Structure 1
Amino acid sequence: MDWLRISILCMSVILAQSAPQGAPGPEIKIISQTNEISPDGGYKWSYEADNGIKADETGTLKKTNDAENPEVIVAQGAFSYTDKEGNQISLTYTADDDNGFQPQGAHLPTPPPIPPNIQRALDWIASQPSTTERAGKR
């Protein structure tokens, strides 16, 4: 599955979850929309709805050293909407063959802080010479 399909799938899930459940509400109109496809395989799309939902994405073609996948799409984009509690949700993302889908947003969960004693141990380990450096000193 390419990144364009993954990003469209993610947007569909987000929009479906942000839509009110139950009786149908007022019609939501698209107030602006763009869709550009370049001959080289790149693309750019965006839209804005009258209920405040906004989304955009740009994809560019990237050459790789992988014989099975000599070209991949690298995408970056963003979307925002207001959740059921009235909070503004904004998310930016990149998607590529090296790091996969990388979302960023204030509403996303974050890992707990590293305990101080563990951080000291990690800092000490990082300060030690690598095994290559030690092997060269023998």
Structure 2
Amino acid sequence: MKSFVAVLALVALAAADVAHLQRGADADAQIVKQEADVGPESFQYSYQTSNGIAGQESGALKNVGSEAEAISVQGSNQYTAPGGEVISLTYTADENGYQPQGAHLPTPPAPEAIPEYIVRSIKYNAEHAAREASPQSAYKARF
């Protein structure tokens, strides 16, 4: 019985997927360019690696000293996906949130036109809202 378990363990070990344990070419990538300039109210940096990864970002404080003080950032990065496609992303991040742009990002469908019966309903509700909002009409509606 022990030899059966040992043989079964050897078969399981041989059939195991260990592809994720192998070192890829990216594991030995080197930084070939790196620059940074950081100040009290602004910053900028950039980098590039030997396997084609690159990025840059800059940012600055807006409305310094006020309650509306915030940082505004612009940047980009680029790399090659496993399928060979070059992925490039640009972005801004500020008081309006993070706004990425890239050809690989999904886009929402175009908005559809509002059906005519909904437009009529909205118009009807807007015209009759004042009449139905009066206290007397609310009392009459309940009884």
Which TM-score band (shorter chain)? Answer: 0.5 to 0.7
Determine the structure 2 residue equivalent to 1:7: none
| Structure with the bigger percentage of helix | 2
Tell me how far apart the structure 2 counterparts of residues 28 and 107 of structure 1 sit (CA, whole Å): 24
Counterpart for residue 50 of structure 2? 50
Which position in structure 1 is the counterpart of 2:36? Answer: 35
- Calculate the aligned-residue CA RMSD, in Å: 2.6
1:114 partner SS:
coil
Q: Give, in whole Å, the separation in 2 of the partners of 1:22 and 1:104.
A: 33
Per-residue deviation, 1:112? 1.4
User: Normalising to structure 1: TM-score of the pair?
Assistant: 0.62
Asked if 1:104 corresponds to 2:101, the answer is: yes
How many angstroms does 1:57 deviate by?
A: 0.1
The separation in 1 between residues aligned to 2:20 and 2:64, in whole angstroms, is: 44
Cα distance in 1, alignment partners of residues 52 and 73 from structure 2: 23
| Deviation by residue 1:46-92 (Cα, 9 ceiling, x = unmatched) | 0000100000000111116963xx42211000000000111010000
**Residues 39-118 of structure 1: pairs in structure 2 closer than 5 A:** 40-63=40-63, 67=67, 70-97=68-95, 99-115=96-112, 117-118=113-114
Identity %: 42
Q: TM-score, normalised by structure 2?
A: 0.60
Greater RCO between the two (CA within 8 Å, min separation 6)?
A: 1
How far apart are 1:24 and its partner, in Å? 1.9
Q: Equivalents in 2 of 1:22, 1:35: separation in Å? A: 34
Structure showing greater radius of gyration is: 2
Report the secondary structure of 1:106's partner residue. Answer: coil
Partners of 2:111 and 2:45 in 1: CA distance: 40
Gaps of 5+ in 2: 1-18, 120-125, 127-143
Uncovered stretches (5+) of structure 1, i.e. residues with no partner: 1-19, 125-130, 132-138
Runs of 4+ in 1 over 2 A off after TM superposition: 64-67
The equivalent of 2:9 in structure 1 is none
Q: 2: CA distance between counterparts of 1:22 and 1:114? A: 46
- Whole-Å Cα distance in 2 between the matches of residues 109 and 94 of structure 1? 17
Q: How many pairs are equivalent?
A: 98
